Amino acid sequence: MTGPVLMLVCLLLIGLSFWLFQSGLRKAQVDRVLERLGDGQPAEQEANTAWTGLERMFLRAGLGKPTERLGLWLSGWIIGVLLGWLIADGLGLVLMLVAPPLLLRMYISWRYQRRVHRMVEQLPQLLDHSVRSLKSGRTLADAVLGGIESVENPLKDAMGRVQRNVRMGVSLPESASDFAEFYERDEFRLFALGLKVNHRYGGNASELLENLIKMIREREQGARQLKAMTGETRMTAYVLGGLPILMVGYFIMVNPGYLMNMWNDDTGRIMLFVALGMDLAGLFTMWRMLRSI
């Protein structure tokens, strides 16, 4: 049984490599043609698809559209499932079916949090450049768009969404509001709200942006102080959450027969599943507590 499965995996890998090679060549040629044709033209609004929610997660994390690599993701997952079934039978099959999506979801969440935190840190730089442009006589829209060009990635890449909407005729406040709702951060919402208020009622835009810079920096300083004050609590939660996993790993390395005897016994198997459920419930509870800090 092992031989046919390995042969199938090899054929899948060979076919996947040829498909990726051809797709890469074709996509490179198409991108070059579209880049030449699209110079100076407004970007086309992307249509909603059935993968909108999944694409939103990937785009917010800076990973591009998942539909562009859907064949690669699915092929890798299928190969992993086959290898898991080949190595550990039913247990490996279930593990490879469940673990990759969970790990991918955790990785996307981590990438999003890290990226959006960096974007918030770069926002005062964009606002400061906009204030200096306003004082030199430029309009608010030109100042903000010029500030976008002055910052680095990831904020510059993410703010491309605002530039694209403005080129298509959407007002700057509405474009900023769309950007803020896409990334779901209070700092971006305040920025969009300030632009909307200034657009509707007028006023000193430079003073408004300066106050926003001050507020963002004070909020960031307060968050850092809170993180330092709650460091002991968070470390305790990490230790308590990782201790059961470390203990299981220790038993597997030192005395694997102990856990296998429990697994082969009906009552022991139930106890292991109950312990796993309690550990997951405790991890979720502590995660929610840490999120509230």
> Of 214, 248, 275, which residue is a domain's last?
214
Where does 50-69 have alpha helices with state H?
Answer: 52-60
> Of 198, 214, 230, which residue is a domain's last?
214
Least reliable range by pLDDT among 22-31, 41-50, 63-72, 272-281: 41-50
pLDDT at residue 38, rounded to an integer: 46
Q: In whole angstroms, what is the distance from residue 73 CA to residue 131 CA?
A: 45
Can you give the length of the chain in residues?
293
Q: In whole angstroms, what is the distance from residue 122 CA to residue 209 CA?
A: 14
| pTM for the model | 0.63
Does the residue 230 lie in any domain? no
Does the residue 97 lie in any domain? no
Binned at pLDDT 50, 70 and 90, residue 35 comes out as low
**Do residue 138 and residue 178 come from a single domain?**
yes
**Do residue 190 and residue 244 come from a single domain?**
no
> Of 164, 199, 214, which residue is a domain's last?
214
**Do residue 210 and residue 244 come from a single domain?**
no
**Do residue 120 and residue 192 come from a single domain?**
yes
| Span 140-158, average pLDDT | 85
| Span 103-116, average pLDDT | 86
**Do residue 187 and residue 243 come from a single domain?**
no
pLDDT surpasses 60 at 170: yes
**Do residue 204 and residue 279 come from a single domain?**
no
For every residue of 23-66, DSSP letters joined together read HHHHHHHHHHHHHHHTTTSPPPPPPP-TTHHHHHHHHHTT---G
* Contacts (Cβ under 8 Å, ≥6 apart) of 206: 131, 134, 135
Count of structural domains within the chain:
2
Tell me the angle at which helices 186-201 and 205-229 cross, rounded to the nearest 10 degrees: 160
- Torsional sign, CA 225, 226, 228, 229: positive
**Do residue 209 and residue 243 come from a single domain?**
no
Does the residue 82 lie in any domain? no
pLDDT at residue 44, rounded to an integer: 45
* Contacts (Cβ under 8 Å, ≥6 apart) of 42: 164, 167, 168
Does the residue 147 lie in any domain? yes
Does the residue 226 lie in any domain? no
Find the domain containing 274 and state its range: 238-292
pLDDT at residue 293, rounded to an integer: 57
Does the residue 172 lie in any domain? yes
232 token code pair: 């002991």
C-alpha R_g of the chain: 26
* Contacts (Cβ under 8 Å, ≥6 apart) of 248: 259
Does the residue 23 lie in any domain? no
**Do residue 201 and residue 281 come from a single domain?**
no
To the nearest whole percent, how much of the chain has pLDDT over 90? 0
Nearest to 156 by CA among 192, 184, 118: 118
Does the residue 126 lie in any domain? yes
Binned at pLDDT 50, 70 and 90, residue 197 comes out as confident
261 token code pair: 């005897």
Binned at pLDDT 50, 70 and 90, residue 291 comes out as low
Nearest to 125 by CA among 149, 101, 161: 149
